[in-house]
Amino acid sequence: MEQRRSPHVEGSAGQDIGRRRFLGYLLAGPTLVAAAQLGAGAESAEAAVPSPPEPAEVYDLNDLLTLAATPTSNLIAVVVHPDGTVSFDMPRAESGQGITTMAAMLIAEELDLPLEKINVTLADARPELVWNQLTGGSNTTISMYTPIRVAAAIAKGQLLQAAAMKLDETVTRLTPHLGFIQAPDGRKLSYGELAQAAAGRETKQVETDLKPESEFSVIGTPRNRIDALEAVTGRKKYAMDLDVEGALPTMVCRPPTIKGTVRSVNNAAEVRQMPGITDVVAISTGVAVRGRTFGQCISAIRALDVSWGPGTVDDMSDEDVLADIRKAEIPLAVPDVDPLAETVEGEFTFHFRNNAALEPQTAVADVRSDSAEVWAPLQSPILCQELLAKQLGLSVNAVTVHVEQAGGAFGRRFFSDPVIEAAEASQKMGKRVKLMWHRVDECRQGRTHPMCTSRIRASLLDDNVLTFEQRHTSVATDYTMGFGEVITSMAGKIPPLGQGNELGYSNTIFATTVNVPYKFGAVTQLLNEIYEYDTFPSGSNRNLVNPDVRTAQELIVDRIAAKMGKDPYRFRKEFADDERVLAVLDKVAEVGEWGREMPANTAQGITVHKEYKGAIATLVEIDCRPETVNRKIRNAVTGPRVTKAVVAVDPGFAVNPRGLEAQMQGGLMDGIAQALTSSLHLRDGVFLEGSWDNYFYTRQWNTPFDVQIVVMPPTTGEPGGAGELGVPSAMASVACAYARATGTMPTSFPINHGTLSFDPKPTVPPLPPSPTDGLQHTY
């Protein structure tokens, strides 16, 4: 892995940070609390010269998210405690991305404090933050990089002043180092000893410098996760591991079709008498069962006799949805180009996919007559709090929402469905509940990345691509929880979206996230959606529409290259529209030995992507030889195997190159799954998949043997987003490699969707029994 600190880059936006002054706050209190504003407050202390209008393409989703945060002007605070530790209550969700580690690194850098002295926790819902407590769009590092540093730098300044008083020295003669302030004569005071003396007597605005990049010793260096020890010892707590007195296991008996409804519960009294069971009540989404153990809840759910009403898509199957999509497809325009131009076209289908994490949906709820308290992993906790208040008839201030560490999120935890359910159950039972979804619930009633098609038509003449049209048609994606406010508030203000609100959320997201990273002539990309946003319980997979949009594009790019008689790498090199894209492309070609001799039925694929203020290229090698495709592993879907992957990533500036590397590996695994194996099959209003033995996310037997991640040297000096950046190029490269290895361009994803590789589990009862033969499978 390559990573070196940034040399001075002329004209780079980030380079002035060290010389600019920033505004923050010293807050009144018994110990030192320094704060900074998210968004606007992190601006330079000098009056900023207004920027000239920026080209429309600069407004990507992250600009929207960052700008939406601006007017809220609220504070994040770094607290220095008398025991010498520092704490930071982060208004974001940690779900594996490594943002708590990132925050700790920023604080360690500006405060000159060892990482292990810093405790980063997740803030409860803070309604005053309005839009500024949303974790998504790979935006956390982008939006928090400066504010966290400002708060930490102010804290250091206050510690220095307090030390100067105590040591009778001038501040400039003192040195902060690893939690101590040292005087030239060797005298030193710990931050703990200074915390109270440095505390604010009154709240006041303070100016500070930030460390210049040239002095960084933590930021930009590879660091392990701050919660790694807790994770490997089993001590890391998730919502279901919390000891909330009296909160007993609770599960929901769910309908046999998507969004079906409860007509009547025919044997509630009987089921209530089952061992361990304390409560059985109908709620909006099914029948909630509470008991001593989750195992007994599963048994009770299996015993329930419920009459179900219809759902929203009963009788519909994959082919019906696809037919509706095809009817709604916007025609490709007939390009007005030279009559001698050749045309390359393709239509691609992307099937429904599940976005569930390994930790299922969970929530602990304690609803009283005048208050409510919930604990759950949430990407959008303020919305959850508002929804709960509305549902329970309470004021927002009477609802406390604790954000728990998530066992993965991937967009699924924007939605508060499990918390709403838990609150309803708690209210109706008059008891505390610890509610968890069964895995089957996740597959069959969980959120799904919508089925879509992407059609592309390109026209070429000689060595030029004259036009490149893409028409994306999709089942509606639900963006109403989490993204809604941000986008609606901003959409009307941002060029070229001046049309304002008549463009819906999805079109705004589409317009601000998609692009074609090549110098093609007239490029148009349009999205059209069918159905209501809630016809299917939908939500985005990691990276929203781009895994599909970019895979379609890159397959066509390979076709265009072939038509021009050019190699896929050299074609991309010639047409890449951005120097950073070109640099990562060259890097993977070099490290991955592009064009090396390979056996028949194996091939390389190479693609690029730019998003989240970063650039990425992925080179994969795939093995489609029969002996590999048909390899046998018990109860496993094997198929073509990606044997090697090389990823080069330029995030602008990597705060933690090791965390970035992990995110790229994860994105690669998602891309492999979406290209080759993972999808849902809709049949008669229900998804056939019932668990991980039906839903084929990448497993060890699908994992490449050789994965190399190259982190490029800093380019912009400012960190971009990492969480989702790895997915689209990975998926596209796997698809392109598959096309080259087999000689057939795949047009339906994942490629194995046409084969149902399992016997569907029954829908009534909705849950399978837990097996009893576990001792026959020990090893």
Q: Give residues 681-710 in contact with another protein (rule: CB under 8 A).
A: 691-693, 697-701, 703-705, 707
Q: Which is nearer to another protein, 51 or 233 (CB)?
A: 233
**CB-based contact 427:250 (threshold 8 Å):** no
Choices 177-185, 352-360, 554-562, 593-601 (CB under 8 A): range interacting with another protein: 352-360
CB of 251 to another protein, least distance (A): 10
What residues between 135 and 154 interact with another protein by CB under 8 A? none
Establish if 204 lies at the interface with another protein (CB under 8 A).
no
CA 696 – CA 356 distance, rounded (Å): 12
CB of 731 to another protein, least distance (A): 13
CB of 36 to another protein, least distance (A): 28
Options 126, 438, 471, 740; binder of another protein; rule CB under 8 A: 438
Q: Which is nearer to another protein, 379 or 506 (CB)?
A: 379
Q: Which is nearer to another protein, 14 or 690 (CB)?
A: 690
Residues contacting another protein: total by CB under 8 A: 76
Choices 208-216, 358-366, 555-563, 584-592 (CB under 8 A): range interacting with another protein: 358-366
Q: Which is nearer to another protein, 519 or 701 (CB)?
A: 701
**CB-based contact 350:454 (threshold 8 Å):** yes
CB of 612 to another protein, least distance (A): 18
CA 117 – CA 108 distance, rounded (Å): 9
Establish if 294 lies at the interface with another protein (CB under 8 A).
yes
Establish if 384 lies at the interface with another protein (CB under 8 A).
no
**CB-based contact 660:722 (threshold 8 Å):** yes
CB of 443 to another protein, least distance (A): 10
**CB-based contact 483:505 (threshold 8 Å):** yes
CA 173 – CA 183 distance, rounded (Å): 7
In sequence order, the 6+-apart residues with CB closer than 8 A to the CB of 742 are 601, 624
Q: Which is nearer to another protein, 292 or 390 (CB)?
A: 292
Q: Which is nearer to another protein, 67 or 730 (CB)?
A: 730
Establish if 360 lies at the interface with another protein (CB under 8 A).
yes
Establish if 774 lies at the interface with another protein (CB under 8 A).
yes
Give a three-class secondary structure readout of 380-416: CHHHHHHHHHHHHCCCHHHEEEEECCCCCCCCHHHCC
Establish if 407 lies at the interface with another protein (CB under 8 A).
yes
Establish if 244 lies at the interface with another protein (CB under 8 A).
no
Q: Which is nearer to another protein, 467 or 546 (CB)?
A: 546
What residues between 625 and 654 interact with another protein by CB under 8 A? 633, 635
Q: Give me the amino acid identity at 158.
A: Q
Options 124, 193, 359, 611; binder of another protein; rule CB under 8 A: 359
* CA nearest to 452, candidates 555, 350, 536: 350
As a dihedral over the C-alpha atoms of residue 129, residue 134, residue 140, residue 142, rounded to 10 degrees, the angle is -70
CB of 15 to another protein, least distance (A): 30
CB of 415 to another protein, least distance (A): 17
Options 126, 290, 658, 681; binder of another protein; rule CB under 8 A: 658
CB of 236 to another protein, least distance (A): 5
Helix (H, G, I), strand (E, B) or coil at 712: coil
Q: Show the tokens assigned to 209.
A: 């410098």
Choices 105-113, 176-184, 406-414, 506-514 (CB under 8 A): range interacting with another protein: 406-414
Interaction pattern, residues 206-235, with another protein; x per rule: CB under 8 A: ------------------xx-xxxxxxxxx
Helix (H, G, I), strand (E, B) or coil at 653: coil
Interaction pattern, residues 69-108, with another protein; x per rule: CB under 8 A: --------------------------xxxx----------
**CB-based contact 713:3 (threshold 8 Å):** yes
CA 725 – CA 611 distance, rounded (Å): 7
**Which of 198-227 are b and which e, b meaning 16 or more Cβ less than 10 Å from the residue's Cβ?**
bbbeeeeebebbbbebeebebbbbebebbb
Q: Which is nearer to another protein, 222 or 713 (CB)?
A: 222
Q: Which is nearer to another protein, 242 or 562 (CB)?
A: 242
**CB-based contact 521:509 (threshold 8 Å):** no
Q: Which is nearer to another protein, 473 or 733 (CB)?
A: 733
Establish if 1 lies at the interface with another protein (CB under 8 A).
no
Q: Show the tokens assigned to 544.
A: 């929203």
Options 668, 676, 711, 725; binder of another protein; rule CB under 8 A: 668
The burial class, CB within 10 Å (0-12 / 13-18 / 19+), for 381 is buried
Establish if 768 lies at the interface with another protein (CB under 8 A).
yes
* CA nearest to 375, candidates 405, 395, 398: 405
Q: Which is nearer to another protein, 37 or 694 (CB)?
A: 694
Give a three-class secondary structure readout of 31-50: CEEEEEECHHHHCECCCCCC
**Which of 721-742 are b and which e, b meaning 16 or more Cβ less than 10 Å from the residue's Cβ?**
bbbbbbbbbbbbbbbbbbbbbb
What residues between 701 and 760 interact with another protein by CB under 8 A? 701, 703-705, 707
CB of 121 to another protein, least distance (A): 16
Choices 355-363, 518-526, 601-609, 614-622 (CB under 8 A): range interacting with another protein: 355-363
Q: Alpha-carbon torsion 672, 354, 608, 647, what sign?
A: negative
CA 259 – CA 768 distance, rounded (Å): 19
Establish if 293 lies at the interface with another protein (CB under 8 A).
yes
CB of 568 to another protein, least distance (A): 25
CB of 692 to another protein, least distance (A): 5
Establish if 406 lies at the interface with another protein (CB under 8 A).
yes
Q: Which is nearer to another protein, 439 or 444 (CB)?
A: 439
What residues between 264 and 283 interact with another protein by CB under 8 A? 275-276
Q: Show the tokens assigned to 747.
A: 């047009």
Q: Which is nearer to another protein, 98 or 605 (CB)?
A: 98
Q: Which is nearer to another protein, 176 or 721 (CB)?
A: 721
Q: Alpha-carbon torsion 166, 167, 172, 177, what sign?
A: negative
Options 57, 243, 245, 502; binder of another protein; rule CB under 8 A: 243
CB of 263 to another protein, least distance (A): 27
What residues between 543 and 572 interact with another protein by CB under 8 A? none
Establish if 51 lies at the interface with another protein (CB under 8 A).
no
Establish if 298 lies at the interface with another protein (CB under 8 A).
yes
CB of 237 to another protein, least distance (A): 7
Helix (H, G, I), strand (E, B) or coil at 201: coil
Q: What is the DSSP string of 224-279?
A: --TTHHHHHHT----GGG---TT-EEEEEE--SSTT-EEEEESSHHHHHTSTTEEE
CA 279 – CA 151 distance, rounded (Å): 48
- Cα distances (Å, whole numbers) of residue 706 to 620, 621, 643, 646, 709: 10, 10, 7, 8, 10
Establish if 677 lies at the interface with another protein (CB under 8 A).
no
Establish if 253 lies at the interface with another protein (CB under 8 A).
no
CB of 469 to another protein, least distance (A): 33
**Which of 676-709 are b and which e, b meaning 16 or more Cβ less than 10 Å from the residue's Cβ?**
bbbbbbbeebbbbbbbeebbbbbeeebbbeebbb
CB of 634 to another protein, least distance (A): 8
